[in-house]
Chains A and B, each alone.
Chain A
Amino acid sequence: MQFFANVAGLIHLEMLLLQIFPGDSISWIFQIFFSLLFVVFVFYGQRIQMYILIREIEGSLLRLKFIRDEGRKIALKTIKEIGKSEVDPAERVDQFLEYVTIRPQSMDPAGIVWKLEHVLDVREERFKDEVKIMAPAADETNINNLENTLEAAAALNMIYKIIRHFYILGKKTLSLYIIMQIQMILPLIMREAEAYASALKAFSYGQPIGDGAGALVAAKLMQGRRKRKIEKDCIVAKVPIEGRIAYVIKAEGPGGNVGKPGEAIKRVIEENDGKISTIIMIDAALKLEGEKPGEVAEGVGAAIGGPGTEQYKIEESILKYKIPINAVIIKEDIGDAVSPMRKKIFEATEVAAERVRRVIKERTKEGDIIIIAGIGNTIGVGQ
């Protein structure tokens, strides 16, 4: 009985379908096709979406791979050109790209600044020695530039490897969580990678970069004055400005170098027994989207980036003598900060220098001793 009921039901269904879709087999095919499509999307929709996401990541990964390989090629070419080494530096460069730096343990954070600084010092020393072996004919400026170039190439290598890790992991596990989190931050990572790529080019040629805006302002202020070397890779010049005595500090150029301005400021403060009426720091700062590149802003506090050790040292020494600290910042985005300095930012250094003079006039009296520190990578900027 059940069988007959089923058959009757099917016939009924067919008649119903024929009423809705009058005509021939084509309508049937369509009906089945769309029903199938519906079922496929209900059950496999997420999986299909996942494959689309994976393909998107794959496209970016190919681009990252290209950028990394290109970076390595440029670094290698520059080393060969400048270094004139007898042995092929390719193997050493590849080893360099894999270098790791292990950050100190922060469970008990007391004294971590000095531990971190020590690790970074060792790292820099190691890098410099490495570059000297790769490029024996390079002078001090070129060694600094090559080291910066290689560091940018290593950063690109790291970015590529991390994205590749998540791409392969996502493919293996087909976990939407892994795939989506990488896909979501991918636009920002691509921006950063492109920025590093242009940084690498600028470093290999020794061109000034946007980050060096602060150093350039200091260089302009100390033009034509006697300079002397001070604490690790920095120089200082005694400059009379508006009747005040200004110690202008910057990293020593024109090689790629940020120096240790914290150390230098501390030394100048101690040389003057803490009798500093104000410190003015000039640095490039990341702008928010919508702000114009090359905008100059003022504020207070230690305007300095990096791993934080130098900022800590400056804050420690100004606290000891209760010295007020002012900041003049030049705004730019991450791309401009590491690519060759664009005209707008170059012009902004003039505005920043003017602002520094204004701060001096408004915040100090004649005869005061002040410190002006231009922060940033001084590549391509002399003094």
Chain B
Amino acid sequence: MNEETTATARRISSIVMIVIIVVLALSLSALYQAYDMFINEDPTMGYYLLIGFIGLALSTYMLLQTRRRMRRFTLKTPPITTTITCSKCGFKNVRDFERGDFIFKKLDSCSKCEGTMTISAIYREVKEKGKEHKIFG
């Protein structure tokens, strides 16, 4: 199932791409036709204009659809910080999280005094998006 789906997905998308390109070309030529008729004051120009725009809208929509599907999937890795505090003098050191860190882990002695350093916090910083509900907040 797994390999099969991806293979079909790819084949379909290449056919879709060809269709999109053909539709795009046709609609562009229809628009050009309409412009030509406009110069010659032909009343049927409106139909060509309609075809052209419908085709254009359709093909761009499909293009966007396939682009959305082709977008690379990723798993985000948020930055995690570890805060180390000296229990004696209160000296603080913030660094990136390392494997083996845990809250209340005892580390080497403080660089400023003789006190022991302890991991006092491990957390993830989240950028607050300003889209909180103003009315119902």
| Neighbouring A residues of B136 by C-beta, 8 Å | 290
Per the bound structure, the CA–CA distance linking A248 and B47 in Å amounts to: 80
Nearest-neighbour CB distance to chain A for B98, whole angstroms, equals: 9
Q: Per-residue 0/1 for B75-115: is the Cβ within 8 Å of any A Cβ (1 yes, 0 no)?
A: 11110100000000000000001011111110000000000
CB within 8 Å for A253 and B126 given contacts A24-B44, A26-B44, A197-B75: no
- Interface SS majority for chain A: helix
41-89 of chain B: CB within 8 A of chain A: 43-44, 47, 68-69, 73, 75-78, 80
Tell whether, in the assembled complex, residue B69 and residue A59 are in contact, meaning their CB atoms are under 8 Å apart: yes
- Interface SS majority for chain B: loop
B32 at the interface (CB under 8 A from A): no
Tell whether, in the assembled complex, residue B9 and residue A383 are in contact, meaning their CB atoms are under 8 Å apart: no
Per the bound structure, the CA–CA distance linking A201 and B75 in Å amounts to: 10
Per the bound structure, the CA–CA distance linking A93 and B6 in Å amounts to: 24
Tell whether, in the assembled complex, residue B124 and residue A382 are in contact, meaning their CB atoms are under 8 Å apart: no
Q: How many residues in B have their beta carbons less than 8 Å from beta carbons of A?
A: 32
Q: Per-residue 0/1 for A23-36: is the Cβ within 8 Å of any B Cβ (1 yes, 0 no)?
A: 11011001000000
A62 at the interface (CB under 8 A from B): yes
| Neighbouring A residues of B23 by C-beta, 8 Å | none
Tell whether, in the assembled complex, residue B102 and residue A340 are in contact, meaning their CB atoms are under 8 Å apart: no
Residue in B47, B68, B76, B105 whose CB lies within 8 Å of A382 = B105
Per the bound structure, the CA–CA distance linking A70 and B122 in Å amounts to: 25
| Neighbouring B residues of A290 by C-beta, 8 Å | 133, 136-137
Q: Per-residue 0/1 for A319-356: is the Cβ within 8 Å of any B Cβ (1 yes, 0 no)?
A: 00000000000000000000111111110000000000
B residues with a Cβ closer than 8 A to A are 1-2, 5, 9, 43-44, 47, 68-69, 73, 75-78, 80, 97, 99-105, 121-126, 133, 136-137
Q: Can you sample 27 A-B contacts with CB below 8 Å? A: A23-B43, A23-B44, A26-B44, A58-B9, A62-B69, A65-B2, A67-B73, A67-B75, A70-B75, A164-B1, A201-B77, A205-B80, A206-B99, A207-B80, A219-B103, A219-B104, A223-B104, A340-B78, A340-B123, A340-B124, A341-B124, A342-B124, A344-B126, A346-B123, A380-B103, A382-B104, A383-B104
